[in-house]
Amino acid sequence: MSAVTLTPRALYEEVAELLRQRIFNRDLEPGAWIDELKLAEEYGISRTPLREALKVLAAEGLVTMKVRRGAYVTEVSEKDLADVYHLLSLLESDAVGVVAERATPAQLAELESLHAELEAAAQPGQVDRAQFFAINERFHMQVMAIADNRWRDQMVADLRKVMKLNRHNSLFKAGRITESLQEHRAVMAAIKARDPAAAMARMREHFRNGLEAAN
């Protein structure tokens, strides 16, 4: 395999992103040992920026460092997953309440446009699961952007990275695409009705059902 060409800026951050995507794409499975020598050779770099990249991923919860054994892709237990979904439910339901109350017409239009993309990606016989979940995440992150709290944004971003470690399971549960779409419709209806309490309740329900699908 030819070496990947990397730019000199923030090399360890670039390496961290490459590894992050390999983990999310399941090229590196949960529990897999990360071969530092092999990766350093593949990327054409020394082990120093690679180790710095692994520290970044460890701080995000994607990698687990084991004494005298090296780095491993984190394995998410049922409790870990439940804890992550619990916190995301609290944070994102709070955010959607803010959106229902304060979003401008232009911001609502942006959310409606994303929801329309979600509807299109879920057409019977044409479902692209990877595309559906990518749009789904964009919708959630747009809600966060509109709610505009950078501290909450950072916590949600980190938690969602851990959630993606288990995304593979929920992608293939029969009927989950349809259920998720219905839940998004309910969230959008509550936002458009300017009903913060209903929007928060529907978002909590969305995460509750998502956790069930992920187990």
Q: Please tell me the total count of domains within the chain.
A: 2
Contact in structure between 206 and 163 (CB atoms under 8 Å): no
Q: List alpha helices for 25-77, DSSP H.
A: 36-43, 47-60
Res 109: pLDDT: 97
Per-residue confidence band for 125, with pLDDT thresholds at 50, 70 and 90: confident
For range 95-117, the mean pLDDT: 97
Whether 31 and 59 share a structural domain: yes
Contact in structure between 37 and 71 (CB atoms under 8 Å): no
Sign, CA dihedral 16-35-42-51, equals positive
Question: Would 101 be classed as within a structural domain?
Answer: yes
Whether 54 and 147 share a structural domain: no
**Lookup: tokens for 74:** 């984190």
Q: In sequence order, what are the residues at sequence separation of 6 or more whose Cβ sits closer than 8 angstroms to the Cβ of residue 49?
A: 11, 12, 15
Whether 65 and 82 share a structural domain: no
CA distance 178 to 122: 7
Per-residue confidence band for 3, with pLDDT thresholds at 50, 70 and 90: low
Contacts of 123-129 with CB under 8 Å at 24 or more apart are 127/177, 129/171, 129/172, 129/177
Contact in structure between 47 and 37 (CB atoms under 8 Å): yes
Res 169: pLDDT: 55
For range 166-190, the mean pLDDT: 82
User: Would you say the pTM of this structure is higher than 0.85?
Assistant: no
Q: In sequence order, what are the residues at sequence separation of 6 or more whose Cβ sits closer than 8 angstroms to the Cβ of residue 16?
A: 52, 53, 54, 56, 57
Res 52: pLDDT: 93
- For 25, 57, 101, 212, the CA distances from 52, given in Å and listed in that order, are 21, 9, 42, 35
Whether 69 and 111 share a structural domain: no
Question: Would 6 be classed as within a structural domain?
Answer: no
CATH assignment at residue 54: 1.10.10.10
CA distance 128 to 139: 16
Whether 172 and 126 share a structural domain: yes
Whether 169 and 207 share a structural domain: yes
For range 73-85, the mean pLDDT: 92
Q: Choose among 192, 175, 30: nearest CA to 112.
A: 192
Range of the domain at 47: 11-73
Give the end of a domain, one of 73, 88, 112.
73
For range 49-71, the mean pLDDT: 92
Question: Would 2 be classed as within a structural domain?
Answer: no
Whether 40 and 108 share a structural domain: no
